[in-house]
Amino acid sequence: CYGEKNLENEMAVRERLALHAEGVKLPAESPTERGLEGDADLQFLLIGGELIKIRSRSWKKNRLLKLQEDCKTFWHESHRIFKKSHTFSIDDIDSVRMGRQSEGLNKHTDPSVEDQCFSIIFKGSKRNLDLMAHTREDAKQWVKSLNKVISSMRNLNCQQKSEHWIINCMRKADKNDDKKMTLKELKRFLRQINVEVDDTYAEEIFKTCDKSNSGSLEGSEIKHFYGLLTQREEIDVIYGKYAQTEGQMSAKDLLDFLLKEQREQVSMGDVLKLIEKYEIDETAKQKKHMSKDGFLMYLQHEDGSILNPAHKRVYQDMSQPLNHYYISSSHNTYLKEDQLKGPSSTEAYIKALMKSCRCVELDCWDGANGEPVIYHGYTLTSKILFRDVIKAIKEYAFKTSDYPVILSLENHCTVDQQRLMAHHLISILGDALVVKPLGNTMPTNFPSPEELKGKILIKGKRLNKLDAVFTNNNTIEEEMVSEEDEAADCKENGQKAKPKKSKIKLAKELSDLVIYCKSVHYSGFEHAKDNQAFYEMSSFKESKAFNLAETLATAYIHHNMDKLSRIYPAGSRTDSSNYNPMPMWNVGCQIVALNFQTPSKEMHINQGRFLPNGFCGYILKPEFQRSFSSTFNPNKLTDGPWLQRKIISAQQLPKLNKDKAKSIVDPLVRVEIHGVPTDNASKETHYIENNGFNPMWNERFQFNIQVPELAMVRFVVEDYDSASQNDFIGQYCLPLTSVQNGYRHVPLLTKRGDAISSAGLFVHLMLIDV
């Protein structure tokens, strides 16, 4: 284990691979070589233990689970002959849930063992690990220990993640575990970290570091090699320009850097706080200086991130009417895959809600034994109980965000099962369910997200006007209502031939739960203006919505100033692909529903849109989309500011083909602007051959941007391939209004939107209002 002994300097000691956030210490040697000291929870996982793995009522097997010496990889016993790997990384874990909180445990275990059960939920499509401990105390210990180590790993800064990753690669290269590195092992290590060098260059590095001429590197020689490997020339240049005081940055030097390069409005007091926060050399700190190591620490923490730290919390005004916000919205939320034969799952709802999705869809149909079910009608998708979905929503609706959740009902049930739906909604959701308007008088506009905190709204058909709540008027305007436009659209696309506007009988009990989101058919913007109440909203198929956005953009924007609009993918998207949400946001549509289960560029843009404002699922629309005096049209614009950006370098890009030892990436970076039509643009760097560890491009781009309030910036890193389509490596997307100027680090995410540990870009950005 290449630990503190091999990286003996103050920075490595303080910023090492220690899981410091919770006091967890990574062993300096392997557990077999020294006593396990430090944190009891970490020690518990390193020792491991036997658990019962549960697959079905009949498949329940004892299996050993333990954390390996790298404190990042779990090994678990497997009896499958062709199982390639018995390990998984902490990075693969999405969450750990105590109790029977997964579909498998809920279905295959009895309520009596609730306290002994827990689940490890993985990112992406990897199957959950459903486990049962032998005692309640053991289960609590496992969950507590797992959550502590996961939390600590996620709280590592860029420097710590980088060192952790490099040292793990060193450990893998050291096949005989002798804590030394031969030339052969060094070459293996370089391939592990995604860099290919010719044999002559590798030998030169080796000879430079092998001061003892022993034929292997150890101790301080490995430290020397590590220093050469991790030297950041681009940082040296920037630091050298401003380090004008005894070879270091004085407080004044740092202030100059922040004002000139980072374009930050800071004072000397702010500078001193940064030095106190990031400087790791006590002598420099006493002089009020920032060393190069301290400067690198600053750049790799949130203050040096591309995302404005102030936007990581809720910073927008949340007291405006609900329709003044973009709302993170999911389509066919119950599906895990395609919409023809894919499985339906309560897990899909949980994952969407944990990603701060605030509008989920429930396609409700008559089920067996009088219990309504959810699935994609007229298809082979599997079915789940309506009540199980409502239970999952109750449990997970407000784990990530306190702001309201909208349940978009596609109701195809008979009256009796609709009454049962209403019963489940009321009995399970309790006080969280909005069953009448806020206040004692008939409202004239929406309440705000702030007023609706912790509340759940029902979107669906209603038999009468909302004022009936206050007049005690039980008159029903019509007993039969048309199906949702989306249901008709699905039938239209051949999933089953029926009349497009078939009617269903609506149960009053369910109708009465629809308060602020009454579904009505769209009959034109003028008709809506003259006849629709604020709470009456329409759903638009993507083709209809895109056409309106192109031909009647200003009218569409004005429609959305006092009403809600929901957009959904066309029924012909049987593979659950997604449309581009940007044109819909450009005209102020709030509920732009996408298939969360499908990783795609469109989902990256959606994730980026809702990344700021505390990742709460609500983003306040620009003022010109909220004021009736606005004449804004995204299709007719004049010149605006321009954005200049320089892609400097990348660090620790992942290998794409880990099974091939010599597979090294040839990375390039593409920068995309997504916004109003005239702002859409894309530019890319050249590719770097055989270097995914520290490629450097130093390429400058300029974009003219007319509506920065709507623009999204997306960075995409790809592995160049001359013979076929480039392979995806990582991406990051965020609103231009949340970008920090100057030299910034950009984290990278997988195709599914999960963080790639230790990987990132280093860029320089400048937004200038001409």
Summarize the annotated binding site as residue ranges. 332, 361, 363, 410, 459, 461, 539, 566, 664, 666, 690, 719-721
**Structure-token match 């420097």, residue found:** 159
CB–CB of 496/425 below 8 Å? no
d(CA 428, CA 446): 25
Q: Which residues fall within 8 angstroms of residue 274, CB to CB, at 6 or more apart? A: 254, 290, 298, 303
d(CA 742, CA 260): 9
Describe the crossing of helices 183-192 and 158-173 by its angle, rounded to 10 degrees.
130
d(CA 252, CA 760): 29
Q: Which residues define the annotated binding site for substrate?
A: 459, 461, 539, 566
Hey, which bits of 299-346 come out as E strands?
A: 325-330
DSSP state of 491: I
Listed residue (609, 768, 650, 606) closest to 703, CA to CA: 768
Three-state DSSP at 213 gives: coil
Would you list the DSSP string of 587-602?
TT-SEEEE-TTS-SHH
* 3-state DSSP helix/strand/coil % of the chain, to nearest 5: 35, 25, 40
From the list 108, 164, 311, 331, the catalytic residue is: 331
d(CA 423, CA 673): 47
Q: Which residues define the annotated binding site for Ca(2+)?
A: 332, 361, 363, 410, 664, 666, 690, 719-721
From the list 376, 412, 424, 604, the catalytic residue is: 376
Q: Which residues fall within 8 angstroms of residue 4, CB to CB, at 6 or more apart? A: 12, 13, 16, 28
How many angstroms separate the Cα of 529 from the Cα of each of 525, 537, 540, 562, 651? 6, 12, 17, 9, 54
Listed residue (693, 691, 679) closest to 634, CA to CA: 679
224 is a catalytic site residue: no
376 is a catalytic site residue: yes
Hey, which bits of 396-485 come out as E strands?
A: 405-411, 456-460, 480-482
Listed residue (115, 105, 102) closest to 59, CA to CA: 105
Distinct helix (H) and strand (E) counts, the chain: 24, 32
d(CA 472, CA 670): 60
CB–CB of 381/337 below 8 Å? no
Q: Which residues are catalytic?
A: 331, 376
